[in-house]
Amino acid sequence: MTTQTTEQTPALDARALRDAFGTYPSGVVAVAGRAQGRLVGIAASSFTSVSIDPPLVSVSVAAESNTWPLLRQSDQIGVSVLAAHHDALCRQLAGPADERFDDLAVHTTRGGAVLLDEAVAHFTCTVHDEVEAGDHVVVLLAIEGVHVEDERQPLVFHRSSFQRLHRDDLDPRRLDGRINGEPVAAETSGGQESAA
């Protein structure tokens, strides 16, 4: 087994940090809205659930992002959890800004949240707060509506490449009753839309 610590890697440079951050797998979301008459958005792997009550999620956006100053003007912001087949779409959403939505199947809420068709889940949000954090801004989003497609598998981002989920021989049982000592509902409401 290879164990590397920061003592063995004294140069805490950007590359070393990116490599270390990259060991932590995540999903990827599309964060998108409508501003100044056009669709704007980015791909983001920094999406995190934050709070149930009130319902909050966060995304860390690069302070130098050209898109965020526009996107934050959208009355509502859509967060779509990318599905396993969305690898090319993800690259497109991170590419040249004026081509990001070319030929993408999306729908827009009345408030301007732009949501990807065929996503695993949709969150319809408004900006709750923005916290400057080094070279990023942690954007806290208040959730106004959610929609989940239970049968769809997510895209996984790990060590700078895309992966899929594999259960193999892991125990697939849900962690009911073992999170914070609280019972966790066994049923999920797949395909249900709650009010946006």
Ligand X SMILES: Cc1cc2nc3c(=O)[nH]c(=O)nc-3n(C[C@H](O)[C@H](O)[C@H](O)COP(=O)(O)O)c2cc1C
Residues that bind ligand X (CB under 6 A): 28, 42-46, 60-62, 65-67, 90, 93-94, 97, 157
- Least distance (Å) from ligand X to the CB of residue 14? 15
| Residue 44 to residue 29: CA distance in whole angstroms | 5
- Least distance (Å) from ligand X to the CB of residue 98? 10
Q: Which residues pair with 115 in a beta bridge?
A: 107
- Least distance (Å) from ligand X to the CB of residue 165? 16
Nearer CB in complex with ligand X: 92/196: 92
* Cβ neighbours for 163, distance < 8 A, ≥ 6 positions apart: 25, 156, 157
- Least distance (Å) from ligand X to the CB of residue 42? 4
Nearer CB in complex with ligand X: 158/178: 158
Nearer CB in complex with ligand X: 28/148: 28
Nearer CB in complex with ligand X: 60/109: 60
Nearer CB in complex with ligand X: 47/196: 47
- Least distance (Å) from ligand X to the CB of residue 91? 6
Q: 139 φ, ψ to 5°? A: -95, 120
Q: How many CB atoms neighbour CB 120 within 10 A?
A: 22
* Among 123, 37, 121, CA closest to 74: 37
Cis bond before residue 54 (omega within 30° of 0): yes
